[in-house]
Structure 1
């Protein structure tokens, strides 16, 4: 088989580059639907928090665990996704993720206690973990080098679009019902419909995964080179035979990576794996998901109404989408590393300002900060500027780098370890925020600002530029 491919000469007429690009974009969009559900599933709980607290008489700890239980599942799913995708394929991993999303949406909407809700959220988290590994891996493996940064950024665009749709849906449902705690269609409480709204995109994702091509690099790794050649002809055109040869040289054919392949150096893992782990964790330690998981409660705490708080959250999510489009436009031009450094500096400044404003705000009778007049406006502007700096840098660029920075032979497995670390960091930040909020929001934002300052140093010192390089050169 290898000799046939080495000597292969395309008998097809040269494919039009625009047609090939369209195919790559199409299958990348299907893969990125996992990112949409990733964002949707993690953010949809935002509009339900106050209603859940009232309906189940939840404590701050119990509520924090319910919100963050999906993140525990995400960490477990991310850890399992790499080995599963290496053994059974990227497409089957996507199908499994879609099934988990469907089960979670139904179970969460029918939850009868905070504990079973936490379980169904954990099931959805398993799907999120799978999607967070498989989508960037698959997109990086099917995209040509000149398009890879932009197509890999689709993952983050899909995530932030999923966040936006979830928050917009929460706002619309709460507005229609009068509150997330009020009954609506079929006599079910509004917050239940917020969870049910995840069903249509989950079904679409599962159907799409059935029809897209398998990753050519997975096919070569499994010795299915003729199938890989067919996929690559649609992507690379006449360069497909030589590309199969390059991929084969960078892989140990028919070999499934194991954790032992990631070991090396003095600290357990290969240096490149540690860079990926720290990169993924820093994306969360800057506190971005506090904005999207707790923002409606956060803005209510400083004087905004429930409807206004949800509206502000929707506006923030739109800002996130727009800045992700900026990243897509510039990631293959400017490069990954410069965007990370610029974003880190901006996040450090805006988070520092928010820490100061919340830390020095007067307290009401309940001990909550009250931002009035210019202070409230400044905090709102700073929060959205923070999202701007995150949105064109650490949001999309981290997923681009994680999808391409590892060698072919360990990519899915190494990415699964980094993604697991990311979800554990996300869990830590999300689960501790209610307690930090009780201590004072100035402390919370001060910690996130410190992480942003460290991220400047880390990006400058340890990140290698990958712009324009083929995966086989990593």
Structure 2
């Protein structure tokens, strides 16, 4: 197939616009990390209350991601991303102006709806725009954007707290620094909304919606007339095998009457990504390291270092994923995380307590930091980007929206459970006990990937069977 007229620059630019949603996903997830002390002070919350304030966004994420696939099949990928951008703006402003825990939770849930929608629609949109030969690389940009969003939130939190003196101190215009941590997000959220006005709708959605002429114009603009026509014929042929409009019941095999096996694999990928505990680092990193005896300033700086390590890992994956494949990265990541988490459990279990009741790692502090950053590196080398890449491409066209909805709902549901329970675990079984659970999740994921996950490298979306 000729690639001479392919508009590679346009494909990359359009994909990058979609990944701004990933940046906001990361920023919105990471910004809470530096605001926990401020939330506790402003709303006088206990451990369970703090856990709910932090994890409340994830309830919105679960609803957003479950609704996103079905709404995207009905109204289109682009309109849904535009709606998410508006919700990001409302949530960023509202979270900063909140005067009560209930008000804060409402705005965070709105942000969660946006994060949930963006988390599945951005990689799905990219996978439906990009050619197979570098689809994995472009889809991995989504994880780069997520991590860069996290990193940006960590850096922003660090400097705001540093300039103000602490996250709870007044910074500018009489408002505390933790409120400005949320308001910084208004800048990229507004940029996302404006940029979305200039990208096309997914051609595969247009074909499924029987808007063939519009799909043809988009495909010709992306791939040139000859290749665009060829891809249009491939997509139409795939659609003809499923004449009905996409619906949730398509996830059930018509012959056996059981849920399609590919759906269980998608759910497994989504859930295991969370059971390794990565979002404990993203959401509670500052609290985690303060519990291990570091100051607030040092804990926020550790977050910045972890963010930089994450970005480096994702770039490695971007470069190699379309050469090596998806499954090898998942296996490497699971093994690496198992050993790194095991090391963290050992250091936490063998540490003492200082006069304030916090862990005192002593000489083991360096080992814990190295192990934690190795854990973050292996996650972002593998399960971070690869899970989203696979969910965006592993389902056949007919069930992609529904499959993403169910898998995404499972992912955010697991995320909520892990995030909500961490402060409770911290107060009951301690860091060593909590991280033992995450290490077990990483160990079991090795078997899951080896036995059940199939490679998708180099396949056109029309070849996915499910």
TM-score scaled by length of structure 1? 0.94
Whether the 8 Å CA contact 1:52–1:58 is kept in 2: the answer is yes
Task: Kindly report which structure 2 residues correspond to 1:376-391, keeping only aligned pairs within 5 A, or say none.
Answer: 376-391=365-380
Post-superposition offset of 1:369: 2.1
Tell me, what secondary structure is at the counterpart of 2:324?
A: coil
Residue 34 of structure 2, aligned match among 47, 60, 68 = 47
Is 1:185 the counterpart of 2:172 in the alignment?
Answer: yes
How many equivalent pairs are there? 460
Residue 463 of structure 1, aligned match among 441, 453, 457 = 453
Residue 174 of structure 1, aligned match among 148, 156, 161 = 161
Post-superposition offset of 1:19: 6.3
Residue 205 of structure 1, aligned match among 165, 170, 192 = 192
Is 1:95 the counterpart of 2:82 in the alignment?
Answer: yes
Residue 421 of structure 1, aligned match among 375, 397, 410 = 410
What CA deviation, in whole Å up to 9, does each residue of 1:108-164 have, x standing for no partner? Answer: 010001221111111100000110111011000000001100001011111001000
Whether the 8 Å CA contact 1:341–1:460 is kept in 2: the answer is yes
Post-superposition offset of 1:254: 7.2
Is 1:431 the counterpart of 2:453 in the alignment?
Answer: no
Task: Kindly report which structure 2 residues correspond to 1:137-156, keeping only aligned pairs within 5 A, or say none.
Answer: 137-156=124-143
Q: Measured at CA, do residues 121 and 365 of structure 1 come closer, stay the same or move farther in structure 2, by a change above 3 Å? A: same
Post-superposition offset of 1:455: 0.7
Mapped to 2, the partners of 1:444 and 1:266 lie a distance apart of 40
Partner of 1:310: 300
Post-superposition offset of 1:366: 4.9
Tell me, what secondary structure is at the counterpart of 2:456?
A: coil
Partner of 1:60: 47
Partner of 1:353: 343
Whether the 8 Å CA contact 1:77–1:129 is kept in 2: the answer is yes
Partner of 1:5: none
Tell me, what secondary structure is at the counterpart of 2:323?
A: coil
Partner of 2:227: 239
Unmatched runs of 5 consecutive residues or more in structure 1: 1-13
Post-superposition offset of 1:200: 1.1
Post-superposition offset of 1:282: 0.4
Partner of 1:8: none
User: What's the C-alpha RMSD, in Å, of the aligned pairs?
Assistant: 1.6
Tell me, what secondary structure is at the counterpart of 2:246?
A: coil
Whether the 8 Å CA contact 1:141–1:217 is kept in 2: the answer is yes
Residue 333 of structure 1, aligned match among 320, 323, 327 = 323
Mapped to 2, the partners of 1:234 and 1:285 lie a distance apart of 42
Post-superposition offset of 1:314: 0.6
TM-score scaled by length of structure 2? 0.96
Mapped to 2, the partners of 1:15 and 1:467 lie a distance apart of 20
Mapped to 1, the partners of 2:101 and 2:41 lie a distance apart of 11
Tell me, what secondary structure is at the counterpart of 1:416?
A: helix
Tell me, what secondary structure is at the counterpart of 2:159?
A: helix
Whether the 8 Å CA contact 1:87–1:256 is kept in 2: the answer is no
Residue 134 of structure 1, aligned match among 121, 126, 143 = 121
Q: Measured at CA, do residues 307 and 471 of structure 1 come closer, stay the same or move farther in structure 2, by a change above 3 Å? A: same
Mapped to 2, the partners of 1:79 and 1:34 lie a distance apart of 17
Q: Measured at CA, do residues 254 and 168 of structure 1 come closer, stay the same or move farther in structure 2, by a change above 3 Å? A: farther
Post-superposition offset of 1:63: 0.3
